[in-house]
Amino acid sequence: MSKKVLVTGASGHVGGALVRELVENGYSVRASVRDPDAAVKTEALKKLQVEVVKADLFDPASLDAACAGMDGVFQVAAIYDLTPKDRAQARTMIDTGTEGMANVLNAAKKAAAGRVVLTSSVVTIAPVAPNQPPASEDSWVSDTSVTYIEEKTAGEKQAWELASELGLDMVSVLPGGIIGPGFNRSTPSTDFVEAFAKGSLRIGAPDISFPFVDIRDVALVHRLAYEKGEAGSRYIAINDAVSLYDMVIAMNRVDPKIGKPLMKMPGFMTGMVPYVDAMMAKLAGYPHSYTMALHNSWNGREWRIDDSKTRTALGYAPSVGLEQSLGDTLDQLRSIGRL
């Protein structure tokens, strides 16, 4: 594959890690951000000596310029927020995932930019009922009542339709909950780690599993999907699913000052978690992420996902274990003043 590529949303957690992964593997990277003059967001990119350009998903001309001369495009830019404050913000999220994404694909087509790699999410995959076979990249979620799930699901479905119309070579990457170092501001995934560190599940933690993945492995899957992926394919980027209870236990092993949950919460009590989280968020000063809407969308189902296609087709194996990833996340949260 040719190695002159654009990464949109390059100042974010995924975008920044992806730029580093690409540079370290010999790529010439153009990194697009909304504000190249924002030192906090661009300092790390400039240290990598990549070309930093201004682009906005709602400004087609800026995207045309960003895509010009590129051999590939990584469409990473999105809004990751589990608690939009109002309908206007929710609408902006959905528009970003659909209209903004479409503008990038159209610009890539105009520039004859070769392969497009779209960053999606495992939330587009339907969790399964107990005793059912694992979900896979062929599964699609039907409950999009959570705005972020709607943003990613509607956006990816529209992207596949548009890629077909335009004749684009496109693949997508579906990460789990992304933790690990390198973020200059927290995300909903790292907010969970912050919440657990501050005692949100001290009274009791539910045995609810979710597939987490380290940011370095997410970046790796993106590169492998660009280099080895089959056009029209979706690639899941996860490590093993871990229950919230076991996650806090692992955090205690990393940092014994983080208290263990007093109990593993029985199933009939898990509906209390959003209320406890909201209360603790106010007391301990962390963002409230485990909302009732999120709980209801997954309640009674399990995050069991078959990612064998990614491992086989791309030769992918997670390289960063849970405890290392959690430790690095905690260190990063401390470095930005969250802990």
Query: Higher-confidence residue: 73 or 39?
Result: 73
Dihedral sign for Cα 102, 108, 112, 118, please: negative
Q: Establish whether 152 is a catalytic residue.
A: yes
Average pLDDT along the chain: 94
pLDDT, tens digit, for every residue of 264-322?
988 888 888 889 888 888 988 988 888 888 888 888 888 899 999 999 999 999 999 99
Between CA 173 and CA 2 the distance in angstroms is 19
pLDDT computed for residue 299 by the predictor:
82
Phi, psi angle pair for 237, to nearest 5°: -120, 95
pLDDT for 81 equals 94
The token pair at 119 is: 């960053």
Angle at 186 between CA 146 and CA 216, to 5 degrees: 95
Report yes or no: 6 and 66 within 8 Å, Cβ to Cβ. yes
Q: How confident is the model at residue 240 (pLDDT cuts 50, 70, 90)?
A: confident
Active-site residue among 3, 54, 85, 152? 152
Pick the closest to residue 228 from 158, 314, 304 (CA basis): 314
pLDDT of residue 207: 86
What is residue 120's predicted lDDT score, i.e. its pLDDT? 98
pLDDT of res. 293: 87
Task: Return the percentage of the chain with pLDDT > 90, whole number.
Answer: 79
Question: Residue 175, SS3?
Answer: strand
pLDDT at 271: 86
What's the rounded mean pLDDT across residues 132-142? 94
Domains of the chain, each with CATH number or no CATH: 4-180+212-240+304-319 (3.40.50.720)
Q: Is residue 1 pLDDT above 70, yes or no?
A: no
pLDDT at 316: 97
At residue 125, does pLDDT exceed 70? yes
Residue by residue, DSSP assigns 7-53 as: ETTTTSHHHHHHHHHHHHTT-EEEEEES-TT-HHHHHHHHHTTPEEE
How far is 94 from 269, CA to CA, in rounded Å? Answer: 32
